[in-house]
Amino acid sequence: MMLGVSPRSRFADLFAKHAALVHGILLARVPRGEVDDLMQDVFVSALQGFDGLRGEFGPWIATIARNRAIDFYRTRRKTAELPEDLPHHDPDKSEAERVLEVIRTLPEAYRETLVLRLVEGMTGPEIAERVGLTPESVRVNLHRGMAMLREKLS
Rounded to 5 degrees, φ, ψ at 24 are -65, -40
Cβ contact 111:104 at 8 Å: yes
DSSP state at residue 77: P
Amino acid at the residue 109: A
Phi-psi region at 121: left, alpha or beta (left = phi > 0; alpha = psi -120 to 50): left
pTM tops 0.75, yes or no:
no
The per-residue pLDDT for range 89-123, each reduced to its tens digit, is 555 567 888 888 899 999 988 999 999 999 899 99
When pLDDT is averaged across residues 123-148 and rounded to a whole number, the result is 93
What's the pLDDT tens digit per position in 44-67? 888 888 777 777 888 999 999 999
% of the chain exceeding 90 in pLDDT: 49
Distance CA 43, CA 45 (A): 5
What is the pLDDT, as a whole number, of residue 1? Answer: 47
Measured between alpha carbons, how far is 141 from 138 in angstroms, rounded to an integer? 5
CATH code of the region 7-77+95-153: 1.20.140
Q: Measuring CA to CA, how many Å separate 69 from each of 22, 37, 94, 109, 143?
A: 11, 11, 24, 15, 25
